[in-house]
Amino acid sequence: MALKLLKKLLFDRPLKNGVILNHQYKIEECLGMGGYGLVYLCTDILTQTPYVLKQLRPTKAKKEKEKVRFQQEIKLLKSIHHPPQIPGFIDEFIIDGQAYYVMQFIEGENIEELLFFRKQPFTELMALQLISQLLEIIEYLHDRLIFHSDIRTPNIIINDGKLCLLDFGLAKQLTLEEMKEIKARKQDDFFDLGETLLFLLYSQYKGKKKKNGTWLEELTLTKEVTLLLKRLLGIEEEYQHTASIREDLNRAIQSVT
């Protein structure tokens, strides 16, 4: 474990600011380092357009299966066209055996920053309206048998009330023959949708958290919102289709307006 960490520190250091890749993309700053890739803000020096650039970690690039996985991610992103809620694919290239791809840069703040660092409260209606936007993205993806599998607050950007879903590193497009995996991945996305709604609803909670308390005890919600959450989180009968979620979500919105 210690050796693996040492290798990451030695070989997976982010590129320095000012480095120009492919004679076009100037690195401005490293935005994040995940277990799979390094993400940068860059500028197209030909057009002065800001973009996001992702690099497969150098230690991962030494493994054929990881390179194949990265290329599958690129192929998946090329097939998605849902602006402005999903960043568009721009470019890809390989330098010295190291793979990179470039995507649109979406301005805004992610929900994690808003909730846990800025302590921004969201009313019940605001939370449901944001979830409605997120469900629209999930509807688009699931119609194409694409499952995100990582719908978390750091991967959801809000810009002037508009929501955008990022990071398709764990996403996968399946075929109808993979029915068992389709069902599992669908429920994963639905659960993530419910968990995101729960985080947003807790932003207005002022009470003291009980040691063994649950959201059912701590939050005061309409029965429509409660039912929506229970089914998304698998406490009651799980949803099988996004259309059923949309119906219950619309009822929940009506119940708080």
CB 50 within 8 A of CB 27: no
150 assigned to active site: yes
Q: Which residues contact 94 (CB under 8 A, 6 or more apart)?
A: 100
What gap in Å lies between CA 187 and CA 244, rounded to an integer? 13
Strand arrangement, sheet containing 49-56: 20-21, 25-33, 37-44, 49-56, 98-104, 89-95
CB 169 within 8 A of CB 149: no
What gap in Å lies between CA 7 and CA 126, rounded to an integer? 45
Which long-range contacts does 205-209 make (Cβ < 8 Å, 24+ apart)? none
- Give CA angle at 106 (103, 109), nearest 5°: 135
Residue bearing tokens 């497009």: 173
What gap in Å lies between CA 132 and CA 214, rounded to an integer? 24
Which tokens go with 147? 């499952």
**Which of the following is catalytic: 44, 150, 188, 248?**
150
Catalytic residues: 150
